[in-house]
Structure 1
Amino acid sequence: MIMHFQYNPLFENTNIPGWNISFYFKKQRYTGIYHQTGNLEWTSNPPAEEDLTALTSQIHELMLYHVYE
């Protein structure tokens, strides 16, 4: 489960899409960039392969809820 999810715009002009994200998962902090296309670019060590699909889906849902609605 993702905990302490945070996001901030990448650019001062908030009309330009892109967000810095950070969260905790399994007691490990992860950071990355969420692009407008839904692609994730990890700026920390990426999560384990077995967790990657589930985490990507959860992050996408959180971003849809917080940013696009």
Structure 2
Amino acid sequence: MITHFQFKSLFENKDMPGWHFSFYFNKQKFTGIYHQNGDIEWTSEEPSDEHIHQLKEQIHELMLFHVYDK
């Protein structure tokens, strides 16, 4: 389960799409960039193959809720 999920705009002009995000999973911090098209670019170590699909789905859900469903 993702905990302490945070995000902020990549750009000063907050109307431009793109966001930095961070969260903890299994006591490890992960960071990345969420692009407008839903692509995730990891800026930390990438999660293990065992968990990456599940984490990407959770990140998409959180971004849809917090950014697009305002």
Structure 1 runs (4+) deviating above 4 angstroms are none
Q: Give the TM-score normalised by the residue count of structure 1.
A: 0.99
Report the counterpart of residue 3 of structure 2 in structure 1: 3
The answer to whether 1:25 aligns with 2:20 is no
Report the counterpart of residue 45 of structure 2 in structure 1: 45
The answer to whether 1:62 aligns with 2:62 is yes
Structure 1: distance between partners of 2:66 and 2:15: 15
Unmatched 5+ stretches in structure 1 = none
Q: 1:15 offset after TM fit, Å? A: 1.2
Q: 1:3 offset after TM fit, Å? A: 0.1
Q: 1:25 offset after TM fit, Å? A: 0.2
Per-residue displacement from partner, 1:9-55 (whole Å, max 9, x unpaired)?
Answer: 00000111000000000000000000000100000000001100000
Unmatched 5+ stretches in structure 2 = none
Structure 2: distance between partners of 1:46 and 1:7: 17
Supply the AA of the counterpart residue of 2:25: F
RMSD: 0.4
Counting matched residue pairs gives: 69
Structure 1: distance between partners of 2:38 and 2:54: 14
Identity value in percent = 61
